[in-house]
Amino acid sequence: MTNKKYYVVLAVIMMYLSLLSCSDLKIGVGLKGVILDENKITLDGDTFDIRERIGDSLLIVWNYTHSNDRTPCYLLKYERNGFYYPQIGGSDITSIDNTTDFVSIDDKEVYDIKDKKVLFSSQCDASGLYYLGKWNNLHLFANSDTICFSDGKYVGLQDDVFCRKPKKNGVLTLVAGAQRIDVPFGNLYHAKKTGGNKKDVSTEKLMKNYYIKPRSKHESMEAGFSVDLEVPKANSEADKAIREWIIAAIKDDAFFLLEHNIEIPTGKCETLNDMQHSLDEYGALWEKLCRAEYQTGDTLRLRMTCDIKVRMIVDCDDYTTYYYKASLYNGGLHELPREYYITYDKRRGGLLDVNNSVKPAMMQQFRHLVLKSLKKEYDFCYERESSWADFTHSIFSFHCPMLEMSGMDDVMLSLLDHNYSCDEWAGWKGYNEKPFTEKDFPLTHFAVLPEGIILTYHPYQIDCFAAGEYHAVIPFKDANKCLLFDYSKHEDLKPKLERFIK
Residues 206 and 330 in one domain: yes
- pLDDT score at 1: 52
Range(s) of the domain holding residue 388 = 352-502
- pLDDT score at 31: 94
- pLDDT score at 189: 94
Residues 276 and 207 in one domain: yes
3-state secondary structure of 221: strand
- pLDDT score at 422: 76
Q: Of 460, 461, 414, nearest to 436 (Cα)? A: 461
CATH code of the domain in which 234 resides = 3.30.565.40
CA distances from 200 to 49, 205, 318 (A): 55, 10, 18
- pLDDT score at 12: 43
Residues 228 and 311 in one domain: yes
3-state secondary structure of 287: helix
Query: How many Cα atoms occupy the beta-carbon half-sphere of 115 within 13 Å?
Result: 8
Residues 248 and 357 in one domain: no
- pLDDT score at 413: 46
The beta strands (E) that lie in 38-165 are given as: 40-43, 46-54, 58-62, 73-78, 83-90, 93-95, 102-105, 109-112, 117-121, 130-135, 138-142, 146-149, 154-156, 162-164
Residues 292 and 430 in one domain: no
Dihedral angle over CA of 406, 412, 418, 423, nearest 10: 80
- pLDDT score at 248: 95
Ranges of the chain with pLDDT below 50: 7-23, 403-405, 408, 411-416
Residues 500 and 358 in one domain: yes
Residues 302 and 369 in one domain: no
- The answer to whether position 380 is within a domain reads yes
pLDDT tens digits, one per residue of 274-296? 999 999 999 999 999 999 989 98
Among residues 325, 347, 369, the one where a domain terminates is 347
Q: DSSP string spanning 180-200? A: EEEEEHHHHHHPPP-SSPPPP
- pLDDT score at 61: 94
Residue 348, class by beta-carbon neighbours within 10 Å (0-12 exposed, 13-18 middle, 19+ buried)?
middle
Distance CA 184, CA 172 (A): 6
